Amino acid sequence: MIVTFGLLFVFCAALVVVLQRHMVHDRSFSDYAVGGRSFGTWFQAMSFLNTWWPGGIMLSLTGMAVKKGVIAFYMPIYSLLTVMLMYAMARRVWIWGRDHDLRTQADMLGLRYNSRALGVATSIVGLLSLGPFLVLGFKSLGALFYEFSFGRLPMGLSVLLGVALILLRQIWTIRMGMRGLVISDLYQGILAYGGGTLLALGFIAWLMVAHGARLASLDPALLALPDAHAAQGPLYLFSLIATGVLGGWCIPSIFVRLYTADSVRSMLKAGVFSMPLSLVFSVALVLAGLLASEVPALRAQADGVWFALGREAGGSVGLGLAGIIILAATMGGADASVQSFGTQIANDIVGAFVTLSYRASIVTAKGGMVAVMAVAGWLSTLAIPNLVTIAILGYQGIIQLAVVQYGGLFWRRGNATGALVGLCAGFATAAAIELDHHGDTGWSFGLTSGLIGLGVNLALYILCAFMFAHTPAEQQRLATLFDGVPEQAVPDAQALRLRPEPVA
């Protein structure tokens, strides 16, 4: 315990030093929300990775590889496709954000559709769907403290310690806002994805040398993908990849990272650097999980196999290093989720109806963050046997934002009526199917509840687009927004709130 918790202390102390050395106080709520749109390529690359590959996803990915085999490669595949999608949307999102002081995903959608109600609705759907990812992050921190104590701490207490650690981290989030998150992401990203890749490769080498594990000797069931006769249905793998690709940039805490770049060029270059890092890192995790399935003792600890590999391969030091990788990855993802909750509650929900000064916005954001952490912390103490289920559940809701987001960015004909009706119907459909079938996809040929809801969503969006044509004034507003003609005709994010934000 001295070694494991000693490494934990060193990591946290170094993080505090990094944050204190770069301490810059926010001057406005926009500064708090998007960090002054001031970060270059490497900050953006690590910021994306730290939000995209949090510790909970790392644990669930390796666990999925142990239990379900090569289907776990769906995560590396959709991660690459998601970065490619970012190239298509990045320029328009960043320019609109700069020109109209956009702070959140809901700000952008409210601007595009000229609808305050839609901004509020998309924020609520986004936050409800983001909740499972925060729970997953807290559960991974609970697993960290449990493993670091070698099972001496009860799991419930371990989760509470993990929540307390994130709560302590919020001191700098509140003081530095998004700027603090992005700065710490660079430090955490180097450890999590540079160090994590090296450690995963070390685990692979250890499994091959010490246990003779080989891909050629894997259980044939782990090498099979769902076919026409699979219990999940023939379209299950397609559903997982499509949901991940379309839903990735719909996650509020990931979308807002597009606003923090200092230019479109920096954002696009960040994609070039993050793509190979993401691929090598995630493939190494899957290969380590596949080879670990060859060892009965490791196979029995599938959800915590990353920690088990560290403990078996390197003792206390190996366990400590494996845990620090998870902590570095989780800190960025959990911080981003908590900050996103606070910002959207203050900016998109309360701020849509009540004028908030900068200080009132910060207080509202802090209150929202504390409330959300309390609820997520409690949910994290509940027993959930399959961690990857949490992430898949979150995506079924978040993908409903794909129609309103991508339709709004790439098709001018879409309107606020179709966006709002489609979003609500799609989310309700996905939720009803999940409550009735509990993740089972055999009855739907492998289509997940999220994709079925997305079909309903898209159909209503297109139907309303042709039923309710834009007025001449709306056509002119959209021409101004899309083509960059004089901006006087385009209301910015502040105009969609009741009154402009007071400066103090």
For residue 280, give Cα distances in angstroms to 69, 233, 248, 287.
18, 30, 19, 11
Q: What is the pLDDT of residues 211-243, one digit of tens each?
A: 999 999 999 999 988 887 888 899 999 999 999
Identify the band that residue 104 occupies on the pLDDT scale cut at 50, 70 and 90: very high
Residue bearing tokens 């901004």 = 119
Mean pLDDT of the chain: 88
CA-angle at 326, arms to 149 and 370, nearest 5°? 85
Would you say residue 465 has pLDDT above 70? yes
Q: What is the pLDDT of residues 191-217, one digit of tens each?
A: 999 999 999 999 999 999 999 999 999
CA-angle at 78, arms to 215 and 389, nearest 5°? 80
Would you say residue 490 has pLDDT above 50? no
Q: What is the pLDDT of residues 362-373, one digit of tens each?
A: 889 889 988 998
Q: What is the pLDDT of residues 394-444, one digit of tens each?
A: 788 899 999 999 999 999 999 999 999 999 999 999 989 988 888 888 899
Contact between 44 and 267 (Cβ < 8 Å): yes
Contact between 44 and 217 (Cβ < 8 Å): no
Q: What share of the chain in percent tops pLDDT 70?
A: 94
Which region, left, alpha or beta, applies to residue 440 given φ > 0 means left and ψ of -120 to 50 means alpha?
beta
Identify the band that residue 46 occupies on the pLDDT scale cut at 50, 70 and 90: very high
Query: How much is the pLDDT for 498?
Result: 42
Would you say residue 503 has pLDDT above 80? no
Query: How much is the pLDDT for 385?
Result: 59
Query: How much is the pLDDT for 426?
Result: 96
CATH code of 2-389, in short, is 1.20.1730.10
For residues 146-160, give the mean pLDDT.
Answer: 92
For residues 135-152, give the mean pLDDT.
Answer: 91
Q: What is the pLDDT of residues 339-370, one digit of tens each?
A: 889 899 998 999 888 888 888 988 898 899 88
Would you say residue 486 has pLDDT above 50? no
Chain mean position to CA 170: 18
Query: How much is the pLDDT for 379?
Result: 83
Contact between 130 and 337 (Cβ < 8 Å): yes
Fill in the DSSP letter of residue 190.
Answer: I
